[in-house]
Structure 1
Amino acid sequence: MIAARFARFSAVCALLLGACLTGAAPASATGPEGSCAEGGGVTVVVDFGDLGPASSIRCAPGTPANGIAALQEAGFAVAGSQKYGLAVACRIDGKPGPDVESCAGMPSATAYWSYWHASAGGQWESSQEGAQTSKPVAGGFEGWAFARPKSANDLPAPPRVAPVRQAVAPAPAPASEGSSFPWGLVIGAIVIVLVGGAGVVVAVRRRRAQ
């Protein structure tokens, strides 16, 4: 009977040890969206305006060949017009939908994507060149804002997100080679097993003494 209890106790301790080791495994990392670190690429800001959702900020690593490449390398899906191809960015991430713009030719003068540039910490400036020929500045910002001016004479507004590099939290200090394995958890589990085993031995001796 006592031997059976000791076996069950040992099994429970083994499960606790396994759980401790499993819990100590590092979680998988995910790549966050946001502006590029200094010297880490070109930051792309897309302001969807009244199309929704909120503005999106992503990083295109390195120095993309042109504005369209920066959009694509930052992870945005870009669709050009049927007539002019990617010389005209008609949709970004599927917006606007066909109910707003057919993308057959040039976008409407009252519903289109405006294209902007800025240096980090500077101000948005409307691009004087098409996105397929414009060369992004290393470490700079590329901006897109969906415009719905009331007339073709109204100037579009820049992205509502300032071209400011976001603060990056300091990376956690790397664990030293001696602390990479959770020895504390292992030792604690072994102590539990030893104490429990000692208790069983004492109980056996008392029972025999009786």
Structure 2
Amino acid sequence: MNLNATIFSAPIFSRNTGFRSTAARTSVALGALVLLAALSGCAPADSGSSASPAATAEASSADCAGVAVVVDFGLLDAATITECVDATKAIPASETLATTGTTTEGSVEYGDAIVCRVNDRPAADETVVVEGQESFTESCASMPPAYAYWALWVKATPDAEWEYAQEGIGTLEVEPGQSVGLVYTTGTETPTPGS
């Protein structure tokens, strides 16, 4: 993992000491990633339907000879996308999403190293409300808040666990038999695609 990637170069401000050093920013970013990884999979699956989105996502990735794609909009109130993209060799994750009709938008500061919007959600004029947090409208100028963002996930094989992608959507490549997922993650839990 490249800890000096652009995604970690944003200044972090401390009320007592001013702006932190690059090493401090890297440590804070690494700590946040470790916390997010530790919390992944903590969200309960939706038990209100006969087949949960997680079961649907798992079934589609097991049956997919190409690359399975799962896009979970979370509280953004849009239908989950679960599709299989034909692939016989490694292809860019962005291409797999585009093949399903899914569009992504990065941020002004970080480009496609992060995902700011998926299918125009959250919209530029949409107020995002997360319980216990300050409501906001996503501008896509920089990093989204830590309590409301698009998380990029990958799964190495149909029976593997979902893992956070180690690179952005602009450079990530996936191979046949793998899965790529996007989840609009809110609050302190980090649900995996389809959970």
TM-score in terms of structure 1 length: 0.52
Matched, 1:47 2:72: yes
| Partner residue of 2:191 out of 157, 163, 166 | 157
Match of 1:75 in 2: 101
Alignment partner of 2:181: what SS?
strand
The one-letter code sitting in structure 1 at the alignment partner of 2:176 is: A
Cα distance, 1:64 vs structure 2? 5.5
Q: Moved runs in structure 1, 4+ residues, more than 6 A?
A: none
Q: Does 1:137 align with 2:175?
A: yes
Query: For the Cα contact (< 8 Å) 2:112–2:168, is it kept in 1?
Result: no
- Specify which structure has the bigger relative contact order, considering alpha-carbon pairs within 8 angstroms and separated by 6 or more residues: 2
Residue aligned with 1:121, SS: coil
Name the counterpart of 2:14: none
CA distance in structure 1 between the aligned counterparts of 2:91 and 2:64, rounded to whole angstroms = 19
Instruction: Give the AA of the match of 2:182.
Output: W
- What code does the residue aligned with 1:56 have? I
Structure 2 CA distance for aligned equivalents of residues 122 and 74 of structure 1: 23
Change (3 A) 1:38 1:53: closer
| Structure with the bigger percentage of helix | 1
* Bigger CA radius of gyration: 1
How far 1:155 moved relative to its partner? Answer: 5.3
Shift of 1:75: 1.6
Q: What is the DSSP-based 3-state SS (H/G/I as helix, E as strand, rest coil) of the residue aligned with 2:98? A: helix
Residue in structure 1 matching 2:154, options 117, 122, 130: 117
Task: Quote how far apart the aligned CAs of 1:102 are.
Answer: 0.8
Aligned-pair distance for 1:71? 1.4
Q: Structure 1 unaligned segments of length 5 or more: list them.
A: 1-33, 162-210
Answer yes or no: is 1:126 the counterpart of 2:175: no
Give the TM-score normalised by the residue count of structure 2.
Answer: 0.55
Shift of 1:48: 0.5
CA 1:74/1:35 → structure 2, altered by over 3 Å: closer, same or farther? farther
Q: CA deviation at 1:131?
A: 2.1
Secondary structure at 1:68 match in 2: helix
Give the Cα separation in 2 of the matches to 1:48 and 1:64: 26
CA distance in 1, matches of 2:169, 2:123: 21
Residues in 2 aligned to 1:45 and 1:78: alpha-carbon distance in whole angstroms? 13
After TM superposition, give the deviation of residue 72 of structure 1 in Å. 1.4
C-alpha root-mean-square deviation of aligned residues, in Å? Answer: 2.2
Alpha-carbon distance in 2 for matches of 1:64, 1:58: 17
**Correspondence for 1:147:** 185
> Structure 2: which 5+ residue stretches go unaligned?
1-58, 127-136
